[in-house]
């Protein structure tokens, strides 16, 4: 979902935060970025560092998305994929992502959208008195249409694109655990706004 939105990364200073095991980080480094891959989990960072060993201009470090250890305007491109829903204060995290971007820099965010079938499954779990979690994550914020265009404008950004995709029906005790409803993802269908995956692309002023 994010790859088509990437600009030319050759020699660009790029931050991916919430990098996990580093699979997307390796893709970014392979496109010539001066890459910093960061995650809150030291174990994830160690795995990401191993993936990035072939790339001389890439590093992996432990960092908190709510207190990014870089100066204002450090990066040309900042990317955070499916991370904001797993932090205590998503709004603060977005403000930090904007802070470390240079003027005219690009921000690419994806989050889970709970105005979707995954939100319905969360409600079913709650009504059944069971704890909902995404793959064992300790924090699962029920984000809805986040971050908003209004929030991004208030932080000094111009929103280029808001997109939605991914319609999955939870199917416990099946091979994959879900059924993908691809017919809801056809172009121009209003249902795309209720997809599980939501992407916001913005530039800083």
The confidence score (pLDDT) of residue 69 equals: 98
The confidence score (pLDDT) of residue 145 equals: 75
Say if residue 161 is exposed, middle or buried (CB neighbours under 10 Å; 0-12, 13-18, 19+): exposed
The tokens for 155 are: 């932080």
pLDDT at 41 over 60: yes
Residue 21 near residue 48, CB atoms below 8 Å? yes
CATH, residue 44: 3.40.50.150
pTM of the predicted model over 0.85: no
> Is 59 part of a structural domain of the chain?
yes
> Is 77 part of a structural domain of the chain?
yes
pLDDT at 81 over 90: yes
pLDDT at 45 over 80: yes
Number of domains forming the structure of the chain = 1
Task: Give the tens place of pLDDT for each residue, 115-147.
Answer: 655 665 656 666 677 765 665 566 667 677 789
Q: What is the mean pLDDT of the chain?
A: 86
Q: Which of 34-38, 68-72, 110-114, 124-128 has the lowest mean pLDDT?
A: 124-128
User: Quick one: pLDDT band at residue 192, thresholds 50, 70, 90?
Assistant: low
Domain span at 102? 10-114+133-166+198-204
> Is 175 part of a structural domain of the chain?
no
Say if residue 103 is exposed, middle or buried (CB neighbours under 10 Å; 0-12, 13-18, 19+): exposed
- The average pLDDT across 146-163 equals 93
> Is 81 part of a structural domain of the chain?
yes
Q: pLDDT: is 142 or 51 the higher one?
A: 51
């Amino acid at each position: 979902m994010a790859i088509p939105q990437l600009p030319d990364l050759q020699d660009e200073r790029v931050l991916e935060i919430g990098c996990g095991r580093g699979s997307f980080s390796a893709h970014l480094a392979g496109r010539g970025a001066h890459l910093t891959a960061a995650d809150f989990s030291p174990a994830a960072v160690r795995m990401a560092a191993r993936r990035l060993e072939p790339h001389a201009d890439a590093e992996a470090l432990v960092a908190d998305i709510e207190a990014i250890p870089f100066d204002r305007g450090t990066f040309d491109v900042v990317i955070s994929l499916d991370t904001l829903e797993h932090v205590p204060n998503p709004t603060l995290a977005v403000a930090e992502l904007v802070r470390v971007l240079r003027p005219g820099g690009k921000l690419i965010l994806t989050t889970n959208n709970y105005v979707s079938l995954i939100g319905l499954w969360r409600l079913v779990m709650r009504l059944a008195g069971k704890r909902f979690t995404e793959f064992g994550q300790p924090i699962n914020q029920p984000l809805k249409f986040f971050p908003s265009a209004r929030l991004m404008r208030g932080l000094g950004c111009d929103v280029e694109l808001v997109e939605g995709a991914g319609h999955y029906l939870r199917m416990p005790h099946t091979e994959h655990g879900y059924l993908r409803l691809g017919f809801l993802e056809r172009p121009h269908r209003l249902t795309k706004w209720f997809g599980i995956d939501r992407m916001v692309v913005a530039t800083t002023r």
